[in-house]
Chain A
Amino acid sequence: MLRYAVRRLAGLVPTLFAVVLIVFAASRAMPGDPIGTMLSDHSADAAMAARLRAEYGLDRPLHEQLLRYIAGLLHGDFGLSYRYLHMRVASVLAEGMRVSLTLATAAVTVAVPLGVGAGVLAALRRDRWADGAATGAMIAALSVPNFAMATFLVYLFSIRLRLLPVAGWGDAGQAVLPVLVLALPAAAYIGRLTRTFMLEVLRQDYIRTARAKGLPRSTIVLVHALPNMLVPLATSIGIIFGGMLSATFVVETIFNIPGLGRLAIDSIFARDYPVITAIVLLFTVFYALINLAVDLLYAAIDPRIRQDNVREAAR
């Protein structure tokens, strides 16, 4: 098991290195000149432009810039921001990171019970009205894009019914809609998986035995069925996180939440390459680590996976 973990971790390194390369290349290839943005409306000053270029190291050859960047990364230093002059990228990100983490955690906390609950309900009431309704709702939540969903929700709850604030971040009321918009698609995804797994598990012999023994439905579900589904469900967490990471870009923009997603979009338009690079890297590394953790969990439970991988590696 440990060997498997180490091997996976080692395999991650070249991938992450390639990711850094790609993101760095992308940030340098983006159209628009950050120096020009810094000089803003008074960009006719060539001397100042040259000074800025030197200060930010943009006059060095590309490979040198890349090496200095990687060296900085290893120290946790993402460089200087282009938009917020004098500020280190790390400080620009610090506040946004807390907000995004809170938002994502809240969304997952809502999504998992909601999804599992809906999935179990649908499975238990298979092919009856409740199943149809739940499944239909899940498909709808997965089909409607989050910004479209946000539009409807905001219109209904904030504008027409005036129950919730339109946007902002600070108190519980403001968090309801954004968390909901993030959580619903994830819940739907979990729900569908739960329903499938549940149906599969319910067909097993040991369930029939339990039912024959006259155990109450709730005991069967909670004690016998659910625990068998935890691992497959856990593996879907990786996918959910991936979707949620990119969904925050949209949700934070709509609801004016000062998180990393909104910062990333603003930075793309403001040509703040170091910030965009840092956010993309952070999200990607986070996503990769989550997937790794899930894979390891799966492999720890199911020895066959490890064997398969050994066979594959030996091919």
Chain B
Amino acid sequence: MTGRTMAKLTAAILALNLAFSAAAAAETVLRLNIVADPAMIDPITNSELVAGEVMKPMYEGFIAIGADGSVIPALATSWTTATDGKSITFRLRPGVHFHSGRLFGAKDVKYTFEEILRPGSRGGLVAPYLRNIVGATELAAGQAKELAGVRIVDPLTLEVDFVKPDVLFPIYPFQFMDSFIVAEQGPDWMTKVSAGTGPYEFVHWQRGVEVAEKANPNYWGGAPRIDGIRFLIVPSGDTALSMYEAGELDVVDVPESSYRRVLSDDRYAKELITAPRAQIRYLGMNQALYPPFKDIRVREAISLSLDRAAMIKGLYNGAAIAMNGQVTPGVPGYGADLPPLAYDPDRARKLLAEAGYPGGKGLPPIEVTSTAPFKDELTYYADQLNRVLGMPVTVKVVERATHIKAMNAGEVAFFPWGWTADYPDAMTFLGDCWYSASPYNRSRWNNADYDAVIDQARTEGDAGKRYALYHVAEKILMRDWATAPLPITTYIALHKPRVHGLAVTPFGWSSFQPVTMD
């Protein structure tokens, strides 16, 4: 064989090799964007929204949320609630394996609850829900070694006892983890593997770059059709969109700052998917800190002075919905027949005059306070209320942790804020934000009738009856002008035509398990 023939043969073999390995390595990976690094990626300390996006494909709870906001069984196939609401027995799904290969069972549920409550644990988002379990206080104080109120009846049956009735316990956003993972991988297991039951497993997290997950072929709901997901960390909306256009992202979660660009461009029309967020927004008015707020006419006047249609068009480029109450569409319990909120500056001025502040005279100066992302809204409110009512409002932007702490302490008089639904039931808004004793009732509004209805709803196991109570409560809330509801924005996302099976729900992305890519 001549040298030249040898060379050609070698080249051919190399080329074939490359082709094969390329084919073998051609994985289908879905690339999405997230706005920042998650703060953590384990279910025990999980407490924020970005981490939530990344964790959802890896960890599951008793239930999952369907694309329409409905509740579907996940790790719990069914449950029975005792008549007094103080105890629930769960039947868990058989044949479910963790990413480690071990079988999921009641012991893992109990383990997860105990780890969150244990002293020294930085228990996250779900810790408050667990405090109502019998024995939780003793465990958290270090007086008990285990959680007395959770009883393992058999490997797939679990009984939970509560101090006060809690009919919503099954739908809380729990994320169950493998009870043997720490023993196997050590306390920093979360930097190496994931310990959940979800359709995807953890691969790596490169700070500032991406979080990568790969398919879990043994997922109980069927193996995912794509090989993996990469969450690319892109703080700037503009950059994310550019990456999408350049083909570096398959799906882009459009941040609000880029709505205008996306909605005004026809190229995107066919690739758009939207859903109203399960997130209320409101203008908090603390009556104790600013006496004029005590007068219901002043509160109504403020609400009437806001041109919500202009806000939707100008601030959100049309990607928002005017809300008349404090429950959003897509959240079970929505649907109270509430009067639409109007923009009526004349009536607003009249009400203010009746309340004793004609033209705003006599109103003490007040700051409308919030964090940097609210800067534009704040500027609008200050300007609008000054102009329409003569109310001396100035803007104050504060940094996030300080603001949250101050709001929780009831120290902020006038502020726009919101609340994202933690679970698929209107109680997450009506109870967490507006019930008098709730620590997250930041404007400290209280109304005895309202509280009574909420108390009743908390023990009402029948969903239909419960939702009817929610309607009653919402009407009381709005009739008292507890707040001026603000428009809620819609999720906007774009997906390449080759991506199928992906949807946006009020609670975020739908499950990635059925997603396919051409």
The chain A residues found within 8 Å of chain B, CB to CB, are: 31-45, 47-48, 51-52, 55, 83-87, 91-92, 95-96, 158, 165-168, 255-256, 258, 262-263, 266, 269, 271
User: A271 — which chain B residues lie within 8 A by C-beta?
Assistant: 399, 401
Partner of B404, one of A36, A87, A91: A36
| Set of chain A residues within 8 Å of B206, measured between Cβ atoms | 95
Contacts of A92 in B (CB 8 A): 207
Enumerate 25 A-B pairs (CB-CB under 8 Å) in ascending A order: A31-B402, A32-B399, A32-B401, A37-B400, A37-B401, A40-B39, A41-B47, A42-B47, A42-B124, A42-B125, A42-B128, A51-B122, A55-B120, A84-B39, A84-B207, A95-B207, A158-B242, A166-B239, A166-B242, A167-B242, A168-B242, A258-B207, A258-B233, A263-B208, A266-B235
The answer to whether B39 touches A83, judged by C-beta atoms less than 8 angstroms apart, is yes
B223 at the interface (CB under 8 A from A): no
Give, as a whole number of angstroms, the nearest-CB distance from B68 to chain A. Answer: 26
Q: Is the CB of B207 within 8 A of A33?
A: no
A48 with B238, Cβ < 8 A, contacts A33-B405, A84-B37 known: no
Residue numbers in B under 8 Å from A165 (CB-CB): 242, 246
C-alpha spacing A165/B190, complex, angstroms: 35
- Cβ contacts B114-136/A at 8 Å (1 or 0 each): 00000111111101100000000
Please give me the residue from chain B that is nearest to A39 by CB atom: B47
Contact status A34-B401, CB under 8 Å: yes
B243 located at the interface, meaning its Cβ lies under 8 Å from any Cβ of chain A in the complex: yes
* Contact A256:B234 (CB < 8 A) given known A95-B209, A165-B242: yes
User: How far is A47 from B137 in the complex, measured between Cα atoms in Å?
Assistant: 11
Residues of A contacting B209 in the complex (Cβ-Cβ under 8 angstroms): 95, 258
Question: With A42-B125, A51-B120 as given contacts, are A32 and B402 in contact (CB-CB < 8 Å)?
Answer: yes
Cβ of B439 < 8 Å from any Cβ of A?
yes
> CB within 8 Å of A: which of B34-77?
36-37, 39-40, 45, 47-48
In the complex, the answer to whether A168 meets B243 with C-beta atoms within 8 Å is: yes
- Interface centre among B208, B233, B246, by most chain A C-beta atoms within 10 angstroms, is B208
Cα distance A32–B402 in the bound complex, in angstroms = 5
| Chain B residues within 8 Å of A51, by CB | 119-122
On chain B, the residues within 8 Å of A33 by CB distance are: 401-402, 405
Q: Are B122 and A52 touching (Cβ within 8 A)?
A: yes
Q: A85-B39, A96-B208 are in contact. Are A45 and B402 (CB under 8 A)?
A: no
Return the contact of A269 from the options B399, B404, B405, B408 (Cβ within 8 A). Answer: B399
Determine the distance from Cα of A47 to Cα of B117 in the docked complex, in whole angstroms: 11
**A-B pairs with lowest CB-CB distance, top 3:** A36-B401, A258-B208, A44-B439
Residue with the highest number of chain B CB atoms closer than 10 Å, among A33, A42, A87: A42
Q: Are A86 and B40 in contact (CB under 8 A)?
A: yes
How far is A52 from B40 in the complex, measured between Cα atoms in Å?
A: 15
Q: Mark B394-437, 1 if CB is under 8 A from A, else 0.
A: 00000111101100100000000000000000000000000000
Q: Is the CB of A36 within 8 A of B246?
A: no
CA distance A166 to B244 in the complex (A): 12
- Are B402 and A36 neighbours in the complex by a CB distance under 8 Å? yes
Q: Please give, as numbers and ranges, the residues of chain B lying within 8 Å of A266 by CB-CB distance.
A: 36, 235
Contacts of B439 in A (CB 8 A): 44
Q: In the complex, A158 Cα to B127 Cα: how many Å?
A: 47
Q: Who on chain A is nearest to B232 by CB?
A: A168
B248 touches A167 (CB 8 A): no
Query: A40 to B49, alpha carbons, bound, how many Å?
Result: 10
Q: Which residue of A31, A85, A166, A256 is within 8 Å of B40 (Cβ)?
A: A85
Complex CA distance for A258 and B208, rounded to whole angstroms: 6
B248 touches A168 (CB 8 A): yes
Which residues of A have CB within 8 Å of B239? Answer: 166-168, 255-256
Whether B238 pairs with A166 at a CB distance below 8 angstroms is: yes
B404–A43 CB distance below 8 A: yes
Q: Give me 13 other A-B pairs in contact (C-beta within 8 A), A36-B402, A42-B125 excluded.
A: A32-B402, A33-B402, A42-B47, A42-B124, A44-B439, A45-B128, A48-B123, A55-B122, A86-B40, A86-B188, A168-B248, A255-B239, A269-B399
Give the most central of A55, A84, A262: most B CB within 10 Å: A84
Contacts of A43 in B (CB 8 A): 401, 404-405, 408
Task: Looking at the assembled complex, report how far the CB atom of A208 sits from the nearest CB atom of chain B, in whole angstroms.
Answer: 56
Contacts of A48 in B (CB 8 A): 122-123, 127
Shortest C-beta distance, A167 to chain B (Å), equals 4
Shortest CB distance B497–A (Å): 22
* A51, A55, A86, A255, most chain B CB atoms within 10 A: A86
- In the complex the two chains form, is B127's CB within 8 Å of A256's CB? no
Q: Which of A51, A91, A165, A256 has the most CB atoms of chain B within a 10 A radius of its CB?
A: A256
Tell whether, in the assembled complex, residue B401 and residue A45 are in contact, meaning their CB atoms are under 8 Å apart. Answer: no
Query: Is there an interface contact between A85 and B122, defined as CB atoms closer than 8 Å?
Result: yes
Chain A residues within 8 Å of B127, by CB: 42, 45, 48
Most chain-B Cβ atoms within 10 A of its Cβ — which of A36, A41, A166, A168?
A41
A269 contacts across to B, CB distance below 8 A: 372, 399
Give, as a whole number of angstroms, the nearest-CB distance from A203 to chain B. Answer: 51
Give A91 to B191 CA distance when docked, in angstroms.
12
